[in-house]
Amino acid sequence: MNEVFYFETSAVNSLYHIFSNDNRFSSVKTKKLQISKGRKWYISSATLWEIFNTKDKKRRYDLFDFCRCLFYDHLIACPEEIVINYIRSGCPVIEKPYNLDSSNAALFSKEWKQACEEMRYFFEPDHEQLHSYTYAMQFLGKYLHKKQNGYELKGYKELIDHSYHLLGIRLESLMDKLMQEFDNLTDEIKQYVAIVFHIALIIFCYGITINKQIVEDYWNSMGILKPISRIEWLVENSISVFFRGPLSNIANMMILQANGKYSRGLFIDSLHSVYFTYVDKYFTSDDHFIEFKNKVTDPNLLKIVHTNEVRLVTPIISS
């Protein structure tokens, strides 16, 4: 059985630094060795998104070239695909294992496979278009945060008012149904419910996310076209998606990051957090993922490994 290792962007940068400065290490030989051991070293569309946002053109190309020589020939399933599979599986407490290779419909998926197979093939999105999409996705962070001695989460009531201001619709009745799932309703729980509800609304109902087309195809296949109708459907038919699984991981990561100063990478970092549940090891060089591991009670978070804890051994494998 294959082992699944995931490397979020900070871990990729850390490995790039090590391999670039020590000629004992070969990305090509390391990849062959890991494949021979039945290990899939995955990166994601979110990782590539961040690499393509690197301002320095040479470093951007070098990072991309390094990645295709080291990491698995398929991207890991995008967060939107994982959310859809989770809902279709009935939001189980424990999901059955499935192939985590991204489908061809996911962003960068087909191009990544071709780039891994053909070293002469290089791709990257138009930078102006990429930056405009990145700016649009920062809407989520702005929606959930306000400035006051740094950045912090908007309060529960403030989020409701903000939704009404932006959408012209009151959403208390839907959130009340989520609140009814708790016996002891604390302010902390109210805050969590408000955050996870709005993440579901913005990412998975309005489709403000990297793989918008996958989200739209899912809802269109069900004949549910309006974002408000989509969130109503989730509350009525898949209420557990708000309390466990990938959307819950995103919400918990956003809440954790709100305790510090707001980062422009908050949205992408939160998408990376989807993979905690699905991989055997999750590699990072960012301390806030370690903080998440230490603060949130979830055995899946024990999979998080800081690259400082990793000892690299020079691979010995035939060419």
Asked if 126 and 145 sit in the same domain, the reply is: no
Q: How far apart are CA 319 and CA 311, in angstroms?
A: 23
| pLDDT number for residue 1 | 58
pLDDT(154) > 90: no
Number of domains the chain is built from: 2
User: Above pLDDT 90, what percent of the chain?
Assistant: 58
The answer to whether the beta carbons of residues 247 and 196 sit under 8 Å apart is yes
Range with top average pLDDT, 52-61, 78-87, 169-178: 78-87
| pLDDT number for residue 130 | 79
Greater model confidence, 150 or 208: 208
Asked if 128 and 206 sit in the same domain, the reply is: no
Amino acid identity, position 52: F
pLDDT(137) > 90: no
The answer to whether the beta carbons of residues 47 and 76 sit under 8 Å apart is no
Residue 315 falls within a domain, yes or no?
no
Asked if 45 and 146 sit in the same domain, the reply is: no
Residue 264 falls within a domain, yes or no?
no
Residue 267 falls within a domain, yes or no?
no
| pLDDT number for residue 46 | 92
User: Mean pLDDT score of the chain, rounded to an integer?
Assistant: 87
Residue 299 falls within a domain, yes or no?
yes
Asked if 36 and 102 sit in the same domain, the reply is: yes
Residue 48, domain extent: 3-132+276-309
Handedness of CA 30, 124, 52, 278 (dihedral sign): negative
| pLDDT number for residue 257 | 75
Asked if 102 and 172 sit in the same domain, the reply is: no
| pLDDT number for residue 17 | 95
Asked if 49 and 89 sit in the same domain, the reply is: yes
Q: Tell me if residue 153 falls in helix, strand or coil.
A: strand
Asked if 110 and 186 sit in the same domain, the reply is: no
| pLDDT number for residue 100 | 97
| pLDDT number for residue 259 | 60
Asked if 252 and 148 sit in the same domain, the reply is: yes
pLDDT(318) > 70: no
The stretches of the chain forming alpha helices (DSSP H) are 9-21, 27-36, 45-52, 57-70, 79-88, 109-117, 127-137, 139-144, 156-167, 172-179, 187-199, 212-222, 227-237, 246-257, 266-272, 287-295
Give me the mean pLDDT over the 17-34 stretch: 92
Write the CB contacts of 234 (distance below 8 Å, at least 6 apart in sequence): 87, 200, 204, 205, 241, 242
- For 80, list phi and psi in degrees, rounded to 5: -65, -40
Asked if 9 and 31 sit in the same domain, the reply is: yes
Residue 51 falls within a domain, yes or no?
yes
Asked if 121 and 152 sit in the same domain, the reply is: no
Q: How far apart are CA 57 and CA 169, in angstroms?
A: 44
Asked if 25 and 49 sit in the same domain, the reply is: yes
pLDDT(149) > 60: no
- pLDDT tens figures, 251-304: 988 888 766 555 556 778 889 999 999 999 999 999 889 988 888 888 889 999
Which long-range contacts link 187-194 to residues 24+ away (Cβ below 8 Å)? 187/156, 190/156, 191/153, 191/155, 191/156, 191/255, 192/251, 192/252, 192/255, 193/156, 193/242, 194/156, 194/159, 194/160
Asked if 199 and 286 sit in the same domain, the reply is: no
pLDDT(145) > 80: no
| pLDDT number for residue 127 | 76
The answer to whether the beta carbons of residues 193 and 179 sit under 8 Å apart is yes
CB atoms within 10 A of CB 194: 26
Q: Would you state the structure tokens that stand for residue 85, as one six-digit string?
A: 């599979």
Residue 218 falls within a domain, yes or no?
yes
CB atoms within 10 A of CB 22: 10
Q: Would you state the structure tokens that stand for residue 226, as one six-digit string?
A: 């309006």
Residue 319 falls within a domain, yes or no?
no
Residue 266 falls within a domain, yes or no?
no
Segment holding 145, helix H or strand E:
strand 145-147
Q: How far apart are CA 243 and CA 193, in angstroms?
A: 8
Q: Tell me if residue 265 falls in helix, strand or coil.
A: coil
Split at pLDDT 50, 70, 90, the class of 150 is: very low
Split at pLDDT 50, 70, 90, the class of 58 is: very high
The answer to whether the beta carbons of residues 201 and 227 sit under 8 Å apart is yes
The answer to whether the beta carbons of residues 301 and 295 sit under 8 Å apart is no
pLDDT(245) > 90: yes
Write the CB contacts of 77 (distance below 8 Å, at least 6 apart in sequence): 85, 100, 101, 102, 103, 106
| pLDDT number for residue 76 | 98
